[in-house]
Structure 1
Amino acid sequence: MTVTLALAGDTMLGRGVADLLAKSNDPDAYVSDGVREYLSEADATLLNLECCVSDRGSPWSAPGRILHFRAPPQAVDLLAELGVTCTTLANNHALDYGYGALLDTRAHLEHVEIRAVGAGATLDQAREPAILTVRGLRIAVISVTDHPEEYAAAPGRPGVAYADLRSGVPDWLTDTVARMRTETDVVLVSPHWGPNMTAAPQPYIRAAATILADAGATLIAGHSAHVAHGVAPPVLYDMGDFLDDYGVDPDLRNDLSLLFLVTVDELGPVRLRAVPLKLDWCRTVLAEGAERSWLGRRFIRACEALGTAAVLEDGLLVVDLRARKGG
């Protein structure tokens, strides 16, 4: 049995996107028909929700924290219209408007039957995997972030599943991965790791990926850099962004990203097809022309640097995920 997962990176529905959501919940206003057609090919869709979803709370006050992202409750209706199955919440914006807003986020997602993982009311809930049954295949989703420590859940305190990956992968995380490997068919770990605006994974991220794979992770799909990185099976180091209102770095071009369609079976990932995207202001479309070509060349080079071959097939970037296992 094989299933196709659509995996997308950071999705920020606050600020400018939130202003538009107050006027329209039409999916085409945010994600084009062409992109939605690729999403419809998937049996399940997962993304990293880089904001809270609530109409209450106040900005988290901490030295150096200047960006706070909050989406209105109707944002979950957009996610449902896009066919999102599960969102990861372990990231550096989940608590931007406090504990209550984080709990609202989980409640709003639950209301539209979208699973949430990586943050919760207690430490145990934040760390607990989501188990999806997709066409008979049981898929465990584990979400964790390596920043910021101040957002970490604790016994009796809401927060995110935090792991200081720069210092190594904690036992609780490898134990969770190993346990899920015995209880499910596929173990997907989705870490929010590393700083923004980097073109390649840092050494500590590559080391952590190897440890997670050795513990039993069959697929690792990261995010945080806002730039899509290369692939070293079974690791998608960074999926870039999917929808936002962010400023554009003229060199790294964080407005050019990828949607990953990954075929998996009980033995793990089989094949990856990456769909080139262009992130306009608050709307994501298929990348075309020179921008599509530039993005393709960058991704192929990034994979080559990790010892992986990516090829262009019918306008998509394709990687054989059974070719080698790297980290």
Structure 2
Amino acid sequence: MTVTIALAGDTMLGRGVARQLADFGPRSLFAPELKPVIDQADLFLLNLECCVSARGHRAPLPGKAFFFRAPPSAADALALLGVDAVTLANNHALDYGPQALADTRSLLADAGIEAVGAGPDLARARAPLVLTAGGLRIGLLGIADHPEEYAAGPHTPGTAYADLHNGVPRWLTEAVRDLRQDTDVTLVTAHWGPNMATSPVRHVLRSAPALLDAGATLIVGHSAHVFQGFTRHVLFDLGDFIDDYATDGRLRNDLGLLFLLTLDGASLRRVDAFPLGLRYCHTRPATPREYAWIRHRLTTACASLGTSVTAEDGHLMARWD
């Protein structure tokens, strides 16, 4: 049985994006050319790097520079795009406190979008999500390796925090093993590593094999805000999908990728990566010049990991027979 999963990286719908949403509506955030690509997939998953709420107060974290909160209409904007599920395991889920996190989960659910990686207590933050597509049971686990201050407790809300700097914790390997027994595909979505890193850092490189050994079929990373290379089993970082961030002229965090993964049962057969241009609060297909930069960057990053990427009909592709 074959299933196609669409993946997008860091999706920040607060600040300037929230104003764009309010002034021009949800269709103004994404170019219409993206929808036919997404519609090829059986499931569309992304990292929602903000809370969705009209309530709450900024978390009292000294030294934290950025706090992201999207309006309730953001949930409808994601549904309109075709999002099926999001991970909330990241460093912005609790930016406006437990009330906003609760609103996020509720508003997403009302829009028909599932969420994983954060919850009202430890058990529900760590709880997996199982979706069915193409006749396959696909299990999702969402984790974040920062910040520890946002970690859920036995009776307090927060994220599924995993201190990967000191090795993959036992609870996580056990969770992966348990989920693998009940699903055809087990996907771990990890908010790991530092910002603006063009290649996976040491603790990420150590953690990925341990998660695969525990039974993960695929590992999908995000956090760096720039895309990294991938192997047959690990997409180390998806990069950004939409935001209002300042652009680094060298690292080009204003250029991204929308991924389509084609699986035959539990085996990943193909990755198609569609180049994107991220302008202020708007995401569209890359221009030819942007495409050339993205192609060079992704080809080089993947080659360092032993993956060969080729160009095909305006996008980039890796295939395993």
Q: TM-score, normalised by structure 2?
A: 0.98
Name the structure 2 match of 1:10: 10
Q: How far does residue 34 in structure 1 lie from its aligned partner after superposition?
A: 1.2
For residues 160-205 of structure 1, what are the alpha-carbon distances to aligned partners after superposition, in whole Å with 9 as ceiling and x for unaligned?
0000101100111111111111100000110000010011001210
1:210-225 matches, cutoff 5 A: 210-225=209-224
Asked if the contact 1:5–1:43 (Cα under 8 Å) also holds between the matched residues in 2, the reply is yes
Asked if the contact 1:219–1:268 (Cα under 8 Å) also holds between the matched residues in 2, the reply is no
Name the structure 1 match of 2:283: 284
Q: What is the number of equivalent residue pairs in this alignment?
A: 321
Q: How far does residue 296 in structure 1 lie from its aligned partner after superposition?
A: 0.5
Using the TM superposition, name which of 182-191 and 259-268 deviates more: 259-268
Q: How far does residue 267 in structure 1 lie from its aligned partner after superposition?
A: 2.4
- Equivalent position amino acid for 1:25 in 2: G
Name the structure 2 match of 1:135: 134
Q: How far does residue 314 in structure 1 lie from its aligned partner after superposition?
A: 1.2
Q: How far does residue 265 in structure 1 lie from its aligned partner after superposition?
A: 2.9
Asked if the contact 2:21–2:29 (Cα under 8 Å) also holds between the matched residues in 1, the reply is no
Name the structure 2 match of 1:149: 148
Question: SS state of the match for residue 252, structure 2?
Answer: coil
Name the structure 1 match of 2:312: 313
Question: SS state of the match for residue 24, structure 2?
Answer: coil
Q: How far does residue 61 in structure 1 lie from its aligned partner after superposition?
A: 1.4
Q: Tell me, which stretches of 5 or more residues in structure 1 are unaligned?
A: none
Distance (Å, rounded) in 2 between the aligned partners of 1:295 and 1:26 = 27
Quick check: 1:104 aligned with 2:115?
no
Asked if the contact 2:26–2:74 (Cα under 8 Å) also holds between the matched residues in 1, the reply is no
Name the structure 1 match of 2:40: 41
For residues 21-41 of structure 1, what are the alpha-carbon distances to aligned partners after superposition, in whole Å with 9 as ceiling and x for unaligned?
2223332x1110111221111
Name the structure 1 match of 2:20: 20
Q: Tell me, which stretches of 5 or more residues in structure 2 are unaligned?
A: none
Question: SS state of the match for residue 220, structure 1?
Answer: strand
Q: How far does residue 206 in structure 1 lie from its aligned partner after superposition?
A: 1.0
Asked if the contact 2:44–2:85 (Cα under 8 Å) also holds between the matched residues in 1, the reply is yes
Q: TM-score, normalised by structure 1?
A: 0.97
Asked if the contact 1:53–1:102 (Cα under 8 Å) also holds between the matched residues in 2, the reply is yes
Distance (Å, rounded) in 1 between the aligned partners of 2:26 and 2:165 = 41
1:178-257 matches, cutoff 5 A: 178-257=177-256
Q: How far does residue 79 in structure 1 lie from its aligned partner after superposition?
A: 0.3
Asked if the contact 1:137–1:265 (Cα under 8 Å) also holds between the matched residues in 2, the reply is no
- Equivalent position amino acid for 1:66 in 2: A
Percent identical pairs in the alignment equals 54
Name the structure 1 match of 2:161: 162
Distance (Å, rounded) in 2 between the aligned partners of 1:191 and 1:232 = 15
For residues 112-171 of structure 1, what are the alpha-carbon distances to aligned partners after superposition, in whole Å with 9 as ceiling and x for unaligned?
110000000010000001100112211001100000000000001000000010110011
1:165-176 matches, cutoff 5 A: 165-176=164-175
For residues 294-327 of structure 1, what are the alpha-carbon distances to aligned partners after superposition, in whole Å with 9 as ceiling and x for unaligned?
110100000001111111111211112x46xxxx
Q: How far does residue 290 in structure 1 lie from its aligned partner after superposition?
A: 1.2
- Equivalent position amino acid for 1:10 in 2: D
For residues 243-285 of structure 1, what are the alpha-carbon distances to aligned partners after superposition, in whole Å with 9 as ceiling and x for unaligned?
1111101100000111110011322321100000000000000
Distance (Å, rounded) in 2 between the aligned partners of 1:189 and 1:265 = 18
> CA-atom RMSD, angstroms?
0.9
